[in-house]
Amino acid sequence: MSGGGTIDFEIRPSSQPVSATEREALLANPGFGRIFTDHMVTIRYAEGKGWYDARVEARAPIPMDPATAVLHYAQEIFEGLKAYHRADGKIGLFRPEANAARFVESAHRMAMAPLPTELFLGSIRQLIDIDRAWVPTSTEGSLYLRPFQYASEAFLGVRPAREYLYVLIASPVGPYFAGGVKPVTIWVSNDYTRAAPGGTGAAKCGGNYAAGLAAQAEAAEHGCDQVVYLDAAERRYIDELGGMNVFLVRKDGTMITPPLNGAILPGITRDSVITLAKEQGYSVEERPVSIDEWRDGARSGEIVEAFACGTAAVLTPIGTVRGTEGDFLMGDGTAGQVATALRAHLVDIQFGRRPDPHGWTTTV
Ligand code: PLP
Ligand code: COI
């Protein structure tokens, strides 16, 4: 039982799991992040002791001292990945080691104890094993896994905590956007930025999302589904959306996506899309792209498609881009061909319907 790695999970199955009938009813229309499985995994950390007390137990509220550090200074990180019901009947995961690695990176940025990869991956296997019946069998339904870790020490001084709690919960999901795979409308925020150079933009910490809620509310007031953030220094270059990376497609087939500049999240979907696109002969430019280049390109017909990508949203076409300088439309506002084909390719790999030459998928 140390920070180094292998510890056994104590398994205490729930004494009151949801009945099969009720579960089927819930799985019929899960939405996103509304319903949860019967169990959770918890692992504790204390300075000097390392990671200990790994448990699989009934999902339940976690009692908290009012002085728990995360409630005051937001020392918290999370991940998001999905388990898929595959064509061969097995449960598949997509690049979970990449999430484990990003979780460690996020922990370093937030001055937290990093969770060893084998515990991250082990926790996922344990939870899927016990909550297997909750993985949707519907087309494109999946079990969204949410690992997170927070400062659990009760202490009000401002310094890295000496105790952490890692928790894994799971939520059966359908599409992230209520409209399904239809193109989304996005809002260009002039008032708010998401991340500054040297800030926490490349970490997956809850604070980034809290900071984006006012912008998201502004977007919703303007009838938009998501915010696209501009860089904090010049308010000129596009960074990413609140919870997704972004790609533009030119009429010659070149794809453009903002570079990993330290202010955007290094998306695993982004990386996978770049690999698949290059394999299919597209050239992919990772470079700064300004909102002006996007707007002008869309209006002149040079930029024909745009899409957002991430675990929750998979690959979602962008239809209308709205901002204080007026709207512009991508193509004719319907889902573009490139986005549609790449999405199908990616999803087919994730669901085990197509060969996986990169070794991205594993089964549980
Ligand atoms: N950008 C942000 C801010 C996100 O929250 C996410 C979702 O995790 C992504 C991008 C996409 O990352 P990934 O493809 O690893 O899910
Ligand atoms: C994910 O795609 O996993 C995210 O964390 C994005 C969030 C908006 C749900």
Tell me which of 116, 151, 173 is where a domain ends.
Answer: 173
DSSP, residue by residue, 137-191:
-STT-EEEEEEEEEE--B--SSS--SEEEEEEEEEEE--SSTTTTSPEEEEE-SS
- Pairing label, strands 184-188, 314-322: parallel
SS3 content of the chain, % helix, strand, coil (to 5): 25, 30, 45
Q: Are residues 87 and 37 in the same domain?
A: yes
Average pLDDT, the chain: 95
Residue of the CA atom closest to atom 5 of ligand 1: 243
Q: Are residues 91 and 205 in the same domain?
A: no
The alpha carbon of 202 and the centre of ligand 1 are apart by a number of angstroms equal to 10
Its domain, for residue 93, covers 9-173
The residue with tokens 């915010």 is 227
Residue of the CA atom closest to atom 3 of ligand 2: 80
Tell me the per-residue pLDDT of 169-184, one tens digit each, with 9 for 90 and over. 999 999 888 776 789 9
Q: What is the count of structural domains for the chain? A: 2
Q: How confident is the model at residue 4 (pLDDT cuts 50, 70, 90)?
A: very low
Q: Are residues 241 and 167 in the same domain?
A: no
Q: How confident is the model at residue 3 (pLDDT cuts 50, 70, 90)?
A: very low
Q: Are residues 116 and 250 in the same domain?
A: no
Is 41 within a domain? yes
Q: What is the pLDDT of residue 140?
A: 79
Is 357 within a domain? no
Q: Are residues 212 and 333 in the same domain?
A: yes
Q: Does 2 or 295 have the greater pLDDT score?
A: 295
- Domain CATH for 153: 3.30.470.10
Q: Which of 212, 186, 209, 136 lies closest to 298 in space, CA to CA? A: 186
Is 359 within a domain? no
Is 303 within a domain? yes
Q: Are residues 243 and 340 in the same domain?
A: yes
96-109 and 117-130 helices, crossing angle to 10°:
130
Q: Are residues 120 and 241 in the same domain?
A: no
Q: Are residues 78 and 197 in the same domain?
A: no
Q: Which of 84, 100, 94, 211 lies closest to 166 in space, CA to CA? A: 100
Query: What value does the mean pLDDT take over residues 253-268?
Result: 97
User: How many CA atoms, within 13 angstroms, populate the side-chain half-sphere of residue 138?
Assistant: 18
Locate all alpha helices (DSSP H) within the chain, ordered by sequence.
Answer: 20-28, 69-73, 96-109, 117-130, 206-221, 268-279, 291-300, 337-350
Tell me which of 173, 208, 240 is where a domain ends.
Answer: 173
Q: What is the pLDDT of residue 2?
A: 39
Ligand 2: residue of 173, 229, 311, 350 to mutate (most ligand atoms within 8 A of CB) is: 311
pTM, to two decimals = 0.96
> From the CB of 243, is ligand 1 less than 6 Å away?
yes
Q: Are residues 75 and 220 in the same domain?
A: no
Q: Does 321 or 332 have the greater pLDDT score?
A: 321
pLDDT > 90: percent of the chain: 92
- Domain CATH for 341: 3.20.10.10
Is 196 within a domain? yes
Q: Are residues 222 and 163 in the same domain?
A: no
Q: What is the pLDDT of residue 352?
A: 95
What CA–CA distance (Å, rounded) separates 209 from 336? 29
Tell me the per-residue pLDDT of 8-50, one tens digit each, with 9 for 90 and over. 999 999 999 999 999 999 999 999 999 999 999 999 999 999 9
pLDDT of residue 155 exceeding 90: yes
> From the CB of 80, is ligand 2 less than 6 Å away?
yes
Q: What is the pLDDT of residue 357?
A: 97
Is 336 within a domain? yes
> From the CB of 312, is ligand 2 less than 6 Å away?
yes
What CA–CA distance (Å, rounded) separates 112 from 130? 29
Q: Are residues 223 and 82 in the same domain?
A: no
**DSSP label at residue 330:** S
Is 363 within a domain? no
Tell me the per-residue pLDDT of 64-112, one tens digit each, with 9 for 90 and over. 999 999 999 999 999 999 999 998 899 999 999 999 999 999 999 999 9
Residue of the CA atom closest to atom 7 of ligand 2: 243
Beta carbons of 332 and 301 less than 8 angstroms apart: no
Tell me which of 142, 173, 204 is where a domain ends.
Answer: 173
Is 362 within a domain? no
Beta bridge partner(s), residue 50: 46
Q: Are residues 68 and 143 in the same domain?
A: yes
